[in-house]
Amino acid sequence: MNEDIVSYNAGGEIDVSIPEIPLPTVVEKVDDNKDECEVAFKFAFIGAGQGGSRIAEAFYNLGYRKLAAINTAQQDLNTIKLDNKLCIGDGGAGKNPAVAEKLFHEKREDVLDFMRDSWGSDIDRIFVCAGAGGGSGAGIVSPLLDTAQELQEIVNSTTKKVGCILALPKHSEGNKVNENAYATLTKVLRMVRAGSVSPLIILDNEKVHQLYPGLSVSQFWRTANSSTAGLFHLFNLLASKDSSYSSFDSNDYKQLLDTGLIVFGAAPVEKWESPSDISKTVRENLRNNILSGGVDLSTGNSAGVILIGGKEVLDEVPQEHFDRAFDQLTRILGPHSVVHRGIYSGDKPSLTVYTLIGGLGDPKDKIEELRKLAQAQ
């Protein structure tokens, strides 16, 4: 996703550009860890393993600067364009999470010092990013989440909950990778249910593969990571901005981040003449454009929905059309759900809907899918 997916100009409007295949723009290295984007919350991101470090790198491309990477292999860290990197092993974990976990526990205090030295104390929430199928990411993610929570308590951050962005493998990556992913996902979900981890954002690479078929290898991984990072950033950005129509504020975003498992989606609205056109797009968005597979959206208890359109479009569309779109989410989630809403003006004659569903139950279909793939001959 391009770094200027959203820009806030002096006129108070949001400029949104959503390319068909969102790819990141590489930003040149800077000297400090002060974010170069105006956002509601100061998040820190640490990537565990090569896959997790690539996710953290995607946030660098959006202007976030409280970033770090940890791995058991120096050669993997050498490919990551972040300043703060820590190697805790010698040659990697060989797809064996137990090896990485043992190495982490031996260096746990070093990791805690590393994170604190990298980011300082001005942190609202730490996010641990990891690939669930590899050895380093799968082995490090759980103890790293515990260590990150300890750091948040030390620096008196605004929450005790630690976030996690967990990437699941494509089906074609083999039995061992899917076995690791199954074990890692179930372990992190237990931490979500215990209340120590929130939000959990699942980046389902099999689902991304279905949404963006035909990409080259390099395009695929950049698209998967930048799509998730870009949607996360958009909500954090808009939560810091006022709207003359309807604002999605920082309290709205914080409440959603505290609900456990969350998923993002986005879709352009092709037409808006009929009262049901926008609500149909919301349904289609939820059905086809959510970046996580195997999730039952009806188990959610809260949502954020943001509509961004050109001023002439927003002035033309009756309020009833927008209300129907917001009500669509309430019907899907149930009458006791909470739907946070925002309408923002952009400088393009288009309309786009962004959704965030929170408080979801365990993705049982995805768990079962991984279990079967792990056991396949």
In a domain, 247, yes or no: no
The answer on 217 and 69 residing in a single domain is yes
Same domain, residue pair 233 and 289:
no
pLDDT for residue 28 is more than 70: no
Q: Are 151 and 183 part of one and the same domain?
A: yes
pLDDT at 147: 98
Residues 63 and 177 in one domain: yes
Residues 158 and 33 in one domain: yes
Q: For residues 65 and 56, what is the distance between their CA atoms, to the nearest angstrom? A: 10
**Is the model's pLDDT at 186 over the cut of 50?**
yes
Whether 92 and 198 map to the same domain: the answer is yes
State whether residue 311 is helix, strand or coil. Answer: helix
pLDDT digits (tens, 9 = 90+) for 234-287: 999 999 999 999 999 999 999 999 999 999 988 889 889 998 999 988 887 777
- Predicted confidence band at 113 (pLDDT cuts at 50, 70, 90)? very high
- Over residues 69-95, mean pLDDT: 93
Has residue 252 been placed in a domain? no
pLDDT value for 340: 95
pLDDT at res. 32: 57
Q: Which of 144-148, 352-356, 362-366: highest mean pLDDT?
A: 144-148
Q: What is the CATH number of the domain that holds 304?
A: 3.30.1330.20
Predicted pLDDT at 20: 37
Range scoring the smallest mean pLDDT among 59-63, 119-123, 224-228: 224-228
Which of 190, 205, 237 is a domain's end point?
237
Which pTM does this prediction carry?
0.90
User: For residue 244, is it within any domain?
Assistant: no
Q: Mean of the pLDDT values across residues 27-39?
A: 63
Does 90 lie in the same domain as 176? Answer: yes
* pLDDT tier for residue 293 given thresholds of 50, 70 and 90: confident
Both 127 and 268 in one domain: the answer is: no
Half-sphere exposure of 212 (CA within 13 A, CB side): 24
Q: Answer with the residue of higher pLDDT: 84 or 38.
A: 84
**What is the 8-class DSSP label of residue 171?**
G
CB 274 within 8 A of CB 261: no
What is the dihedral sign for C-alpha 155, 158, 160, 165? negative
Structure tokens at 135: 């050895």
Of all residues in the chain, what percent carry a pLDDT higher than 70? 90
Residues 86 and 149 occupy one common structural domain? yes
Q: How far apart are CA 115 and CA 188, in angstroms?
A: 21
More confident residue, 275 or 144: 144
Co-location of 192 and 272 in the same domain:
no
The backbone torsions φ and ψ at residue 214, rounded to the nearest 5 degrees and listed phi first, read 85, 10
- Mean of the per-residue pLDDT values for the chain? 87
**Does 23 reside within a domain?**
yes
319-338 pLDDT, tens per residue? Answer: 999 999 888 888 888 888 99
- The answer as to whether 250 is a domain residue is no
Residues 162 and 211 in one domain: yes
Higher pLDDT, 280 or 101: 101
Q: Identify the CATH number of the domain in which residue 118 sits.
A: 3.40.50.1440
Model pLDDT, residue 373: 92
Q: What was the pLDDT predicted at 14?
A: 41
Mean pLDDT to the nearest integer, 106-114: 97
Q: How far apart are CA 129 and CA 35, in angstroms?
A: 18
In a domain, 334, yes or no: yes
Please indicate, yes or no, whether residues 229 and 288 belong to a single structural domain of this protein. Answer: no
pLDDT at 102 over 60: yes
Query: pLDDT tier at 60 (50, 70, 90 boundaries)?
Result: very high
Q: For the chain, how many structural domains are there in total? A: 2
The pLDDT-based confidence of 33 (bands split at 50, 70, 90) is low
Look at residue 54 and tell me whether its pLDDT is greater than 80. yes
Range of the domain at 274: 261-360
Tokens of 122: 């001005």
Q: Is 173's pLDDT higher than 50? A: yes
